[in-house]
Structure 1
Amino acid sequence: MADMIRKTFVVPPLGCNCSILGDPATKQAIVVDPGGDAKSILEEVQRLGLTVVGIYHTHAHFDHFLASGEIRAATQAPLGLHEADLELWKILEVQCRMFGVPFVQAPDPDHCMRDEEALSFGKVTGQALHTPGHTPGSMCFHFPEDHLLLSGDTLFRGGIGRTDLWGGDSRAIEESIRERLFSLDETTTVITGHGAETQIGFEQQCNPFVSD
């Protein structure tokens, strides 16, 4: 099978990494963490010749889903989020106000995602992993055949997600990384929620927050 189409780029207002993943055969695609600038995201989808069939969120902090409503309206693709983050989704306006960001209404998620739920678009298959800690419903999206993980704000290059915001739990995030993410193949590329990409093997050896 041809390599997955992948385009990751930074979107406002807080520099979230938004990813478009597509199947080269069917041109079906998903958008992960559309934090803002729906126009640019939709233009990139069009440029790649893709059809969006799902909009997935690693967690429900405002900087990861401000463009969700507009993209859903344009594509009719369902929104997916773990049910443990529904309470955070409901306080989008509060989150925006705390960070001085204009409020953008988002519709309720269409689908509550589950741990180890299969993800598929066209011939591409992956799995959603529940990795609580940054938020109660934080998820990572793993595509083993492509050696790819979208970690959201759970794991960063040389760091981990904040646990001082709504629903954060420092013990839970460390357990999620050690037990779920560090069990993956060390050659797995990690697209983080913010900042540079990394690899599981590098983080196993060098991440000062979770490495032995």
Structure 2
Amino acid sequence: MCCVHNVRVFNVSDVRAAIIPVTPFQQNCTLLWSDRTKKGAVIDPGGDLDRIRQAIEEIGVTVEKIILTHGHIDHAGGAAELKEALGVPIEGPHEADRFLLDRLEETGRGYGIEARAVTPDRWLQEGDTVAVGDLVLDVLHCPGHSPGSVVLVSPTQRFAIVGDVLFQGSVGRTDLPGGDGKALIRSIKEKLLPLGDDISFICGHGPTSTIGQERQTNPFLQGDAVF
């Protein structure tokens, strides 16, 4: 389907996703679309925009928006430039991450990544929905990795985009500005685990997983583990 190097394709029911690792952090930028409409969104374009645009062209998706799960440089660094190139709005994250988005250029210099500050066209809050083609994603505000991290869930398709909240076998780091370990574990246990074990998810780094697999095997979610 896509010839861009190192792109992984993820399929659940009518949901299609191309996972495009970008930046030196190998962040999972995700091109998400509906198989029925071929309309979609770019989620977390941290950088390497040439790779992202090549994937869009090769797959033939009509991108309607950019979505940010949170404000860290590897997820949001390329958002302003991609918005201008595609002429589409940006939705997310929660406004609690405004301070991170405002400082993207400064943060990027520290990592050797070109970035520009960006202000979303729409901040997301708990209970909002986001449309991607004919897909409707519920918004969960899941602070901890960053104050404004959001998770996008399709209850009907049993699928989620979780950003850096939860990984296969791990959870998001909390030693960056605004991080809170107890809040992160609370977000996962109170908002993600109740979604159901059959929920498949794409995370911000590394391989995909399911809620059930992480409930059973993730060491950070066993007992009363906190960090």
Please give the range of the TM-score, normalised by the shorter of the 2 chains.
over 0.9
In structure 2, relative to structure 1, the CA distance for the partners of 1:154 and 1:94 (3 Å cut) is same
Distance 2:187 2:34 in 1: 29
The answer to whether structure 1 residue 124 and structure 2 residue 141 are counterparts is no
- The answer on whether the counterparts of 2:97 and 2:146 sit within 8 Å (CA) in structure 1 is yes
The answer to whether structure 1 residue 47 and structure 2 residue 62 are counterparts is no
Counterpart of 1:204?
A: 215
Counterpart of 1:167?
A: 178
Counterpart of 1:89?
A: 101
Residue aligned with 1:196, SS: coil
57, 73, 89: which one pairs with 1:62? 73
Gaps in structure 2 of 5+ consecutive residues: 1-12
The answer to whether structure 1 residue 191 and structure 2 residue 207 are counterparts is no
Once the two structures are TM-superposed, the CA of residue 145 in structure 1 deviates from its matched residue by 2.1
179, 182, 185: which one pairs with 2:190? 179
Number of residue pairs matched? 210
Pairing 1:4-23 to 2, within 5 Å after superposition: 4-23=15-34
The superposition leaves residues 81-136 of structure 1 with CA deviations (integer Å, 9 ceiling, x where unpaired) of 211101111111332233x3233224321111111211112221111110000000
| TM-score relative to the length of structure 2 | 0.88
The superposition leaves residues 183-209 of structure 1 with CA deviations (integer Å, 9 ceiling, x where unpaired) of 012011121111111110011111111
Aligned partner of 2:77: which letter? L
Q: CA RMSD in A?
A: 1.4
- The answer on whether the counterparts of 1:13 and 1:101 sit within 8 Å (CA) in structure 2 is no
Counterpart of 1:26?
A: 37
The superposition leaves residues 121-169 of structure 1 with CA deviations (integer Å, 9 ceiling, x where unpaired) of 2221111110000000001111122221111111011111111001000
Once the two structures are TM-superposed, the CA of residue 27 in structure 1 deviates from its matched residue by 1.9
- The answer on whether the counterparts of 2:102 and 2:117 sit within 8 Å (CA) in structure 1 is no
Pairing 1:95-134 to 2, within 5 Å after superposition: 95-98=107-110, 100-134=111-145
Distance 1:102 1:184 in 2: 36
In structure 2, relative to structure 1, the CA distance for the partners of 1:122 and 1:103 (3 Å cut) is closer
Gaps in structure 1 of 5+ consecutive residues: none
- The answer on whether the counterparts of 2:102 and 2:118 sit within 8 Å (CA) in structure 1 is no
Structure 1 moving runs of 4+ over 4 Å: none
| TM-score relative to the length of structure 1 | 0.94
Residue aligned with 2:98, SS: helix
Counterpart of 2:89?
A: 78
Distance 2:196 2:168 in 1: 16
- The answer on whether the counterparts of 1:13 and 1:35 sit within 8 Å (CA) in structure 2 is no
Once the two structures are TM-superposed, the CA of residue 29 in structure 1 deviates from its matched residue by 0.5
139, 150, 157: which one pairs with 1:146? 157
